[in-house]
A = this chain, B = another copy of it.
Amino acid sequence: MNDDKNTEEKILNAARQVFIEKGFDGTRMQEIADTAGMNKALLHYYFRSKEKLFMKIFEITFKQFVPKMSGIFSSDTSFMDKIQLFISSYIDLLDKNPYIPLFIIRELSRNPNVIKELIFDKFEIIYNAIDLNVKAEIQAGRIRDIDTKHLILNTVSMCIFPFVGKPLLKHLFKTNDDEYRTILIERKNVVFEVIKKWISI
């Protein structure tokens, strides 16, 4: 019997919440059931096993995060604008979902095979789109001769790591949650400035 949402959706929501916070190893099926407000057996009725339920969650979460960046680089604004837009919207996305990067990294590190069962063919499209842009800009003499890989590494590192490293960095800076969040939002400008200065002629 359903309240407003159907049972499957309630399970997925609860599972996402618990898995993202505690990781696969730290998650108990009972806790998911409690969070969803139902009997533990229902989880198995709908998803057979913890592993299967987890994979569903991981897949959904992963697909939610990766492709968000792909679209930007096919629009027709200037390269610099694309970069600025990417940084700004990605930090916004992280601000709304601060625990997802660590979740993905943690679980990918626990079991690197999961990525093979996922859409990592999309990766090629994304990388090629960016690489094409970069090469064209270099050719046209609008930016310095940089390596696309390092451009990506630098940009995503500076965007993501402050979220992932928060528990440590918060202490280093002696900030509370609000102050730290302010810094994170400031980074929309800072990261773009850093990248711009680096690639500009």
Chain A residues within 8 Å of B, Cβ to Cβ: 22-23, 25-26, 99, 102, 104-106, 108-110, 112, 115, 120, 123-124, 126-127, 147, 149-150, 152-154, 156-158, 160-162, 164-165, 167-169, 171-174, 183, 186-187, 190-191, 193-195, 197-198
Q: Chain B nearest CB: distance from A128 CB in Å?
A: 10
* Chain B residues, CB < 8 A from A106: 23, 102, 106
Q: Hey, which chain B residues are within 8 Å of A157, CB to CB?
A: 157-158, 160-162, 165
Q: Is there an interface contact between B168 and A115, defined as CB atoms closer than 8 Å?
A: yes
Cβ-closest chain B residue relative to A150 = B190
Residues of B within 8 A of A102 (CB): 105-106, 109
Give every chain B residue within 8 A of A168 (Cβ-Cβ). Answer: 104-105, 108, 115
**Contacting pair A172 B25 (CB below 8 A):** no
Partner of A198, one of B110, B187, B194: B194
Given contacts A152-B172, A157-B161, 18 further A-B contacts (CB under 8 A): A99-B109, A102-B105, A102-B106, A104-B168, A105-B164, A105-B167, A106-B106, A123-B174, A127-B174, A147-B186, A150-B183, A150-B186, A150-B187, A156-B161, A157-B157, A161-B161, A194-B195, A198-B198
